[in-house]
C-alpha cells in the first residue's frame, strides 16, 4: 500500500501512489479509510491520478470510503481519475453515487460547500 496523506483542518487528501487498486491493495485502503474517519477526518479527498487500473475490489474500497465518510456527516470526493477508471465507474453506474470532480481545487470547493450545507441543515433543526 503506497500513498501520501495531507491533513488539514476541514479535509484530508489521500493520494494513492501506485498503479493498481485491486484485490491485493483494496482491503488495506478500506481499513485506512475507516481508520482515518475514526481518527477524526470528516472529509476525504482521494487523489487517483497515479492509479491506472481498478477492479471490482478497488470499486468496493471506493464505496467503503464513500459510505464511511458520508455516514459520519462528511463527504468523500475523488479526483484525478483516468479514462479507464471513469469508464468502469460509469459502467457500474457508480457515477450516480460517488462524488467525482476533475481537480483538487474543485474537490476543496466541494468539501467547503458540503460544510456550509451541513451547517445550514443543522440551523434548521
Q: For 19-39, how does the pLDDT look when each residue is reduced to its tens digit (9 = 90+)?
A: 999 999 999 999 999 999 999
User: Which pTM does this prediction carry?
Assistant: 0.94
Region of 80 please: left (phi>0), alpha (psi -120 to 50) or beta: left
Walk me through the domains of the chain, giving residue ranges and CATH numbers: 3-124 (3.30.750.24)
**Euclidean distance between the first and final Cα of the chain, in Å?**
42
Distance CA 28, CA 12 (A): 17
pLDDT digits (tens, 9 = 90+) for 49-77: 999 999 999 999 999 999 999 999 999 99
Query: How far, in Å, CA of 35 to CA of 42, rounded?
Result: 11
Amino acid at each position: 500500500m503506497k500513498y501520501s496523506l495531507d491533513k488539514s483542518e476541514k479535509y484530508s487528501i489521500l493520494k494513492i501512489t501506485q498503479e493498481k487498486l485491486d484485490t491485493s491493495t483494496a482491503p488495506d485502503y478500506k481499513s485506512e479509510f475507516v481508520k482515518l474517519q475514526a481518527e477524526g477526518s470528516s472529509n476525504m479527498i482521494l487523489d487517483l491520478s497515479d492509479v491506472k487500473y481498478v477492479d471490482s475490489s478497488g470499486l468496493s474500497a471506493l464505496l467503503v470510503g464513500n459510505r464511511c465518510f458520508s455516514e459520519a456527516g462528511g463527504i468523500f470526493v475523488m479526483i484525478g481519475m483516468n479514462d479507464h477508471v471513469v469508464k468502469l465507474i460509469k459502467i457500474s453506474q457508480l457515477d450516480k453515487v460517488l462524488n467525482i470532480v476533475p481537480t483538487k481545487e474543485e474537490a476543496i470547493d466541494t468539501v467547503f460547500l458540503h460544510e456550509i450545507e451541513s451547517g445550514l441543515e443543522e440551523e434548521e433543526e
